[in-house]
Structure 1
Amino acid sequence: MSTVTAFEHLLPPHWKSLVTAWLKEDTPTFDFGGFVVGEKQEKAVLLGKSKGVVAGKPFFDEVFRQLDCRVEWLVDEGAEFEPIKEIAYVYGSARHLLMAERVGLNMLARCSGIATRARKLSALKAQHGYKGIVAGTRKTTPGFRIVEKYAMVVGGIDTHRMDLSSCIMLKDNHIWSQGSITAAVKKARAVGGFSIKIEVECQSEAEADEAIQAGADIVMLDNFTSEGIKVAAASLKDRWAQQGRPDIQIEASGGITEDTVAQYFSPAIDIISLGSVTQGVPHVDFSLKIQRSTT
């Protein structure tokens, strides 16, 4: 029995329709290049040309499956590789291989890039012995979020909230609209039910105290310095433990990157979230080459 994690089992039933939309976008009418190469059966090799973590296999498989091609993987999902590496073989007609090529490669390059950054963050966490959570944020690409969140999981970090329905996060605009943190939390609690956590973005210890007093489950200390947040988090933890709220979670967020994340590791900080997991992330370089005929 394989011990490789079947990450594709996370995916919802509708995900394959995204692949259909990608293919429709790239070939909206005639496929002129496909007319040139025709139906000759070919074998292509997927090459990993820059160091990284492979992520996105289910999506890549589906791109080619919808065009009657077959992928034979040589590398497991989540595996790290050094270039130049043969990652997979793909079999199908020449026109279908080339129709799927750019869609599949674009997806795989970005998904693997995010997973690679996530893996580096996971390694930093282990290296420093940090026991909290490192998470990506909801700063994802419209229409592509499921791929990007999937990449975080493959890379080994938390996805934070998936969408607006999976956690109630009250940020500055919510609070300004309602007039106070207390009013915003009260209104959120009235509709969120017992199973949905409420998180409040705070700019100071005083705001965090108000959020916790109002019933927030998580306080996000936003844009604090690394040293300032450690002091504030420890103070909040100690104060509210004495008042019967040892369960309160504290999140650090705002401008944190792969280069600075270790500065925020602290026993008093439960969660560190980074938008840079998906924003400005370098892609992993792949190419697909049809094997040249020897005849």
Structure 2
Amino acid sequence: MIEARLFAYRLLDALREDDPFWDLTSAIVPNEEGEACLKTKEDCVLAGVEEVVELLKLLGLGYRVVKGDGETAKAGECFLYIRGPKPDLLKVERVVLNLLMRASGIATATRRILEAARAANPRVKVAATRKTTPFLRYIEKKAVAIGGGDPHRFSLSDAVLIKDNHIKAVGGLERALELARKTAPFTAKIEVEVENVADAIKAAELGADIIMLDNMRPEEVAEVDRRLRERGLRERVVLEASGGIREDNAADYAKYVDVISVGALTHSVKAVDMSMELL
């Protein structure tokens, strides 16, 4: 995929950062052909494999993929083999592992919260946010998708998302929606973030396409769903719950909404423990 190749070119900068002159330690290693195994130390959903393969191609290193993106790897399992001069294998080790560990951590966390949410609502989506690591949004959003989630907005240019500060800046929710309809492209959805039941109902009555229920309790989310149904508005809007949602409470929200968004999937996810072993 061309996007993976483009990202691999950016990974060259990560290699330059790690090896700006030459590797003092690998200088003691004989320049002979070798093979290394990349393995996971815990069960996980793999992500980042395609980008690593594209990087290996750029560097002229060989590879053999045993398990790829989206597949489950068990603890202790080798999922990718790389071949080339032993010093070069050691030089790429950390960059390759850093990418795979983070991306797989995101994919694994996404899969787990998605399974928990869909136990209550088989149609609910679990989405990421724009709370991504600078310069890593592509791989972090892709890891969410690999885990079965929805990437949500990729950037500010994708959709209108009116938040509390936008509402304050223009003088009210009604004015914010009026201006958004005038300025947004016809292809862009208009979403409004609200923090209470009354504002959620008002946003729906004013014609918002998506309503984000931010930091609301499950019982408040249930009340929004009920009142919108009573008014015949529920089928006209997408309801999204966000804020404080975890694997252990996702089902409590999933019953009443179409989307659950979880910033923690990208801003504070635990990386999967992996290693590289020379054979």
Is TM-score (shorter-chain normalized) higher than 0.5?
Answer: yes
CA-CA distance at 1:233 after TM superposition = 2.1
Are the equivalent residues in 2 in contact too, given 1:199–1:220 (CA < 8 A)?
yes
Q: Structure 2 residue aligned with 1:284, among 262, 272, 278?
A: 272
- The answer on 1:64 being equivalent to 2:56 is yes
For residue 83 of structure 1, give the secondary structure of its aligned residue in structure 2.
coil
Contact 1:19 1:62 in 2 (8 A): no
* CA distance in structure 1 between the partners assigned to 2:30 and 2:178 by the alignment: 64
The secondary structure found in structure 2 opposite 1:235 is helix
User: 1:22 and 1:285 mapped to 2: Cα distance?
Assistant: 20
- Counterpart CA distance in 2 for 1:129 and 1:254 is 19
Residue 251 of structure 2 is aligned to residue 262 of structure 1: yes
Q: Which deviates the most, 201-210 or 163-172?
A: 201-210
Cα distance, 1:204 vs. partner?
1.9
Size of the aligned set, in residue pairs, is 279
- Report what 1:47 is aligned to: 39
Question: For residue 221 of structure 2, what is the aligned residue in structure 1?
Answer: 229
Provide the rounded CA distance (Å) in 1 between the counterparts of 2:217 and 2:199: 17
Letter in 2 for 1:196: A
Q: CA RMSD in A?
A: 1.9
After TM superposition, the structure 1 = structure 2 runs for residues 66-215 of structure 1, keeping only pairs within 5 Å, are 66-215=58-207
Residues 202 and 208, structure 1, Cα contact 8 Å, conserved in 2: yes
Shift of 1:12: 6.9
Mapped contact 1:167–1:197 kept (Cα < 8 A): yes
Structure 2 unaligned regions, length at least 5: none
CA displacement 1:122-173 (0-9 Å, x = unmatched): 2223433432222111111111111111111111111111111111111111
CA distance change for structure 1 residues 175 and 132 in 2, over 3 Å: closer, same or farther?
A: same
Secondary structure, aligned partner of 1:14: helix
Q: How much has 1:38 moved relative to structure 2?
A: 4.9
Between 1:202-211 and 1:278-287, the stretch displaced more is 202-211
The match for 1:4 is none
CA distance in 2: counterparts of 1:237 and 1:22, whole angstroms: 51
Q: 1:270 to 1:237 in 2, by over 3 A?
A: farther
- Letter paired with 1:283: A
Task: Confirm or deny: 8 A CA contact 1:115 1:151 kept in the other structure.
Answer: yes
Q: 1:208 and 1:128 mapped to 2: Cα distance?
A: 23
CA distance in 2, matches of 1:44, 1:191: 54
Identify the range of structure 1 (128-137 vs 221-230) with the bigger mean alpha-carbon deviation.
128-137
Q: Distance in 1 between matches of 2:139 and 2:235?
A: 36
Matched, 1:251 2:240: yes
> Residues of 1 paired with 2:237 and 2:192: CA distance?
12
CA contact (8 A) 2:48 2:104 kept: yes
Greater shift, 276-285 or 83-92, is seen at: 276-285
Q: Secondary structure at the match of 1:194?
A: coil
Mean Cα deviation higher: 140-149 or 188-197: 188-197
2:275 partner SS: strand
CA distance in 2, matches of 1:50, 1:191: 49
- Structure 1's consecutive aligned runs of 4 or more residues displaced over 3 angstroms after TM superposition are none
Amino acid at match of 1:256: I
2:98 counterpart letter in structure 1 = N
1:100 positional shift: 0.9
TM-score w.r.t. the length of structure 1 is: 0.88
Cα distance between partner residues in 1 of 2:55 and 2:18 = 12
1:274 equivalent in structure 2: 262
What residue number does 1:5 align with? Answer: none
CA distance in structure 1 between the aligned counterparts of 2:268 and 2:229, rounded to whole angstroms? 34
1:22-60: CA deviation from partner (whole Å, max 9, x where unpaired): 222222223223332253111111111111111111121
* Unpaired runs of at least 5, structure 1: 1-7
Q: Provide the C-alpha distance between the structure 2 equivalents of 1:230 and 1:195, rounded to a whole number of angstroms.
A: 30
Contact 1:63 1:103 in 2 (8 A): no
Note the alpha carbon deviations across 1:178-209, whole angstroms, 9 max, x for none.
11112222222222111100111111232223
